[in-house]
Amino acid sequence: MLLSIIVPTYGAPEKLEELAARIKSSLLETAAGDYELILVNDACPKGSWELIKSIVLDDENVKGVNLSRNFGQHYAITAGLEQATGDWSVVMDCDLQDLPEEIPNLYKAAVDGYDIVFASRTQRRDSKLKGLGSALFYKTLTYATDTHQTSKVANFGIYSRKVVDALLQFNEQLRFLPVNMRWLGFKTLELPVEHAAREGSESSYSLIKLLRLSLDIIFSFSNKPMGLLVRAGIIIASLSIIVAFAFTMQYFVKGVSVQGWTGIMVSLWFMFGCLLFAIGMIGVYVGKAFNEGKQRPIYIIDEIITKPK
């Protein structure tokens, strides 16, 4: 098998038939029918699974994978990659913002000597608020994970067989494809591609979900928050010593007595808040370690369907 196209589906079921048709048309010359389209239903509440089954019955190149419940986009991607048999695997979204017509360009770039080719969106067709949230999200990821991350690159890309095999060796619970792929290394290229405007459906990633995801990724992929906490503690302790020294000098040199409990109470409340924050952060890391220690499967497949031969 030359190409495996993995598409996690949660929203936009109305786009799936067009997606399958455009992928087939785009790969007529590049793959000559030697490809598989793996549609992974992540418990879409809009009836995607019934539509996927009908697409599978009409096209022998399509495989349907139904998860037992909603696990999340990157877990659905992992489920699709587990089923992929291609020499190259393409990951893309189901809402047609990732253009199927760009797949041949990604493949041509990959066979020139790259194991990972990320689709870099030349112009994102999202709202300004969503674009701002994504930019902040990826800047935070770059700092926290010590890897180059950009809002122009998401899941859309093509990956060689050895990259997919290496990725599937990951055992941790949290998955985020761009960070995982960057961590692997290998020869990587960012290829400029067109990005379509979203029509009809809304993104499943709200700003709140992006914030929650960014915190999960930071605490799962990085120990930098602990380092920042240590620095904050050193700074606060140093400032406390400076303030105490200043008050002492005022008392002995200028004879100024410091009266009242306001400053003391404010300091106590401030330090108490810092301690609670520190304990809470440690608790988050302990919780992450607890979840990893359970060794639960990251997804469960309910059903896999292909067209009968």
270: its two tokens? 């401030």
**Crossing angle of helices 262-294/207-221, nearest 10°?**
80
Mean pLDDT by 10 residues, the chain (309 residues): 91 87 90 89 87 91 93 90 94 90 93 92 67 73 73 86 93 80 89 76 61 70 70 74 74 66 65 74 74 77 86
Q: Which of 52, 16, 75 is nearest to 301 (CA)?
A: 75
What pLDDT, in 10s, does the model give residues 208-219?
A: 766 776 677 777
Task: Count Cβ atoms below 10 Å from residue 27 Cβ, excluding itself.
Answer: 23
CA 191 to each of CA 103, 119, 153: distance values in angstroms, whole numbers, following the listed order? 11, 5, 10
Range 135-155 burial, b when 16+ CB lie within 10 A, else e: eebbebbeebbeeebbbbbbb
Domain map (residue ranges) of the chain: 3-204+296-306, 224-294
Q: Which residues lie closer than 8 Å to 135 by C-beta, 6 or more apart?
A: 151
What pLDDT, in 10s, does the model give residues 82-123?
A: 999 999 999 999 888 889 999 999 999 999 999 999 998 877
Q: CA 35, CA 53: separation in Å to the nearest integer?
A: 18
Q: CA 91, CA 82: separation in Å to the nearest integer?
A: 12
Q: CATH 3.90.550.10: does it fit domain 3-204+296-306?
A: yes
228: its two tokens? 């920042």
Residue-wise DSSP of 168-181: TT---S---HHHHH
What pLDDT, in 10s, does the model give residues 177-190?
A: 888 888 888 999 99
